[in-house]
Amino acid sequence: MLPPRSLDERTAEAASGSLASVLTLLGFGLLVLAGFVVFLLLPGWVEDDPVGTVAAEPPARTERGRAAAAVAVEEPVAATVERELRPLQSAPLAADSRDTIAGVVEKKPRPQPAEDPFAVAMSTGLGALDRGDFTTAQEAFREANRLQPESSLVKDALARTATGLRQTAILDLRQRAGAHAEREEWVRAGVLYADVLTLDGTVAFAVSGRRLALWRAELSVRIEGYLGRPDRLSSENVLAEATTTLREAEEVEQPGPRLESQSRRLAQLVSAYSTPMRARLRSDNETAVVVYRVGQLGTFESRELELRPGRYVVVGSRAGYRDVRLTLTVEPGVEPPPLVIRCEEEI
């Protein structure tokens, strides 16, 4: 059994216990204060030291230590944070904050304004006009004119387009007419040259081309008329006209294969119908003979004539007898057989 302690010993022991409690509370308070200071100053240190030179807070060594620290710090820190942030909720943004927000807003894609239909139509038309695509240009300018009918710019663009279209059409007609002329299709060529003059009556090549086409077409028709009916050349008048036509065809500087062929065949016909052939007539010395387009031959027993190719009417007459009427055909280059003219049927 321990001896009883004296009053002084008990007093000293109580004082020592009280001091220890005070020191413990003081240490715990300092720990809480240090945690609070770290909580407030840590964000600033991180911003001032972006490369991470500030040492991280060492983790609690045990689960019990971390739980104790959380219980000790949670309520004072939360209250302090709420108290510190309340004035900032209604405070205006700082200048650097406004600049930062504006920068973010500016980085967002801004909606593009809708394109002006008139500008689009004019741009399309001018581009097509530069390329020589007058059809597309005209469509675009007509759309622009619908949008702005009073625009002088549109009227000028439409006039330029009309000029381009007219020149393109004239060039196309000229090429087509020239192709028909090379093939000696003069009627078609003349029609196309006339179409050019409808677009512009002052175009020189169309004026001269149409005149040439009409003349060549008419010359071809005349020659074909002689070639189709060569017997007409037995007439002196028709033969003279054919000879003139032949001379006209032979004077063409660039006749072409077709006209050359026509001229060659017509020349053969003119020569053949210009060359007389011998024709022999026989009678009875009692029948008077008349050859139309030649004359009266009277009575004879045998007669030879030089006749150009053609058809001749021969009439024989005798008193008391019925007249006879015969046809003498003289072919080019062929001597006809003798023709007998006698009136043998009494009346």
Q: Residue 300 sits in a domain of what CATH number?
A: 2.60.40
Six-digit token pair at 103? 């920068």
The confidence score (pLDDT) of residue 100 equals 46
* Count of CB atoms situated within 10 Å of the CB of 165: 15
Flag whether 27 is in a domain: no
Confidence of residue 342 (pLDDT cuts 50, 70, 90): very high
As a whole number of angstroms, the distance between CA 20 and CA 3 comes to 26
* Count of CB atoms situated within 10 Å of the CB of 258: 15
Confidence of residue 270 (pLDDT cuts 50, 70, 90): very high
Flag whether 65 is in a domain: no
The confidence score (pLDDT) of residue 115 equals 80
Q: Is the pTM of this model over 0.85?
A: no
Residues 281 and 269 in one domain: no
Cβ contact 306:280 at 8 Å: no
Flag whether 309 is in a domain: yes
Tell me what the pLDDT averaged over the chain comes to: 80
Residue 247 pLDDT exceeds 90: yes
Q: Which residues are 281's β-sheet partners?
A: 303, 339
Q: Which range marks the domain in which residue 126 is found? A: 117-182
Residues 234 and 296 in one domain: no
Confidence of residue 25 (pLDDT cuts 50, 70, 90): low
Residues 203 and 282 in one domain: no
Flag whether 286 is in a domain: yes
Work out how many domains the chain is built from and give that number. 3
